[in-house]
């Protein structure tokens, strides 16, 4: 698993490569939490190169989104979510809670 | 039939997925069903490590994959403490985000994505979890 963070004008794009499962989730969680703690609260999660997302990964995103909404200072937007991964997010009922953009440009426009 | 035993830690999850995906593809499942089977097994193994063993590297996960004419059957065995799925609260997938309790999503996925999910426990052999996906 690899994480590439790119700072844009109004948000940060976090590209994750590989699996998001119980093994990799703690590292991803630390990276995102560090960003938030440094005041970066508009986050685009770019998942085009993610080949698996477990329930632990989904719940991590839900908790970050909650944290950002609660502090009313940001949000988390998904971009390029592969179809199979989206279908599990939908199965868990979280499809209505997040914004999904087809590409990075559209995701950046959400801020 | 194929059999493989993996150490009960989260590093094993990727290798377990590769093992399962290869057999699901070989059995002729379409990508959507291969991903469903992969998800169910990954969630089951995470539960074994978290709940049956209560931590990493406290025992193994033995996996048996059996293909029949009509289905793929995956049997997971561990020597951890009895896992009672009824002890895990059902996930709340309808409440507003702010008040939702996030628990039990792994078992929810297993039940939604597979055709049969059977939990068994014996004092001698430990937990046995059978996951079955029918061929269409």
Residue in chain A closest to B31 (alpha carbons) equals A84
Count of CB atoms situated within 10 Å of the CB of B25: 14
So where are chain A's domains? 2-108
Residue pairs spanning A and B at CB distance below 8 A? 69
At residue B116, φ and ψ (nearest 5 deg) are -140, 140
Return residues 47-106 of B near A (CB < 8 Å). 49-50, 91, 93-94, 97-98, 100, 102, 105-106
Reduce the DSSP state of residue B29 to 3 states and report it. coil
Measured between alpha carbons, how far is A72 from A66 in angstroms, rounded to an integer?
A: 10
Q: Give the β-pairing of A99-101 and A75-79.
A: parallel
Q: Summarize the confidence of residues A75-95 as an average pLDDT.
A: 96
B123: CB partners within 8 A, 6+ apart: none
| CATH code that applies to domain A2-108 | 3.30.750.24
Residue in chain B closest to A1 (alpha carbons) equals B14
So where are chain B's domains? 2-134
Write the pLDDT tens digit of every residue in B2-57.
999 999 999 999 999 999 999 999 999 999 999 999 999 999 999 999 999 999 99
Closest CB to B11: pick one of A23, A56, A70: A23
Residues of A in contact with B25 (CB under 8 A): none
Fold of B2-134: Heat Shock Protein 90 (3.30.565)
Residue in chain A closest to B21 (alpha carbons) equals A52
Looking at residue B10, its pLDDT comes to: 98
Please check whether residue B77 is in contact with residue B19, taking contact to mean a CB–CB distance below 8 angstroms.
no
Write the pLDDT tens digit of every residue in A35-45.
999 999 999 99
Looking at residue B93, its pLDDT comes to: 65
Q: Summarize the confidence of residues B45-74 as an average pLDDT.
A: 96
């Amino acid at each position: 698993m690899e994480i590439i963070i790119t700072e844009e004008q109004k948000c940060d794009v976090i590209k994750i490569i590989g699996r998001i499962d119980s093994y990799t989730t703690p590292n991803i969680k630390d990276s995102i939490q560090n960003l938030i703690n440094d005041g970066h609260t508009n986050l685009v999660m770019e998942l085009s190169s993610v080949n698996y997302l477990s329930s632990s990964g989904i719940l991590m995103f839900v908790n970050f989104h909650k944290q950002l909404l609660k502090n009313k200072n940001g949000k988390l937007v998904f971009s390029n979510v592969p179809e199979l991964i989206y279908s599990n997010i939908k199965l868990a009922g979280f499809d209505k809670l997040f914004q999904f953009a087809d590409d990075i440009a559209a995701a950046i426009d959400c801020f | 039939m194929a059999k493989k035993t993996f150490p009960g830690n989260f590093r094993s999850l990727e290798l377990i997925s590769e093992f399962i995906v290869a057999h699901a593809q070989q059995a002729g499942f379409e990508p959507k069903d291969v991903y469903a089977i992969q998800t169910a097994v990954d969630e089951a193994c995470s539960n074994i490590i978290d709940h049956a063993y209560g931590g990493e590297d406290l025992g193994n996960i033995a996996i048996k994959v059996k293909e029949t004419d009509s289905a793929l059957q995956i049997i997971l065995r561990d020597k951890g403490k009895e896992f009672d799925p009824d002890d895990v609260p059902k996930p709340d997938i309808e409440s507003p985000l702010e008040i939702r309790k996030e628990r039990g999503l792994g078992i929810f996925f297993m039940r939604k994505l597979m055709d049969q999910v059977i939990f068994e426990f014996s004092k001698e052999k430990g937990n046995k979890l059978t996951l079955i996906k029918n061929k269409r």
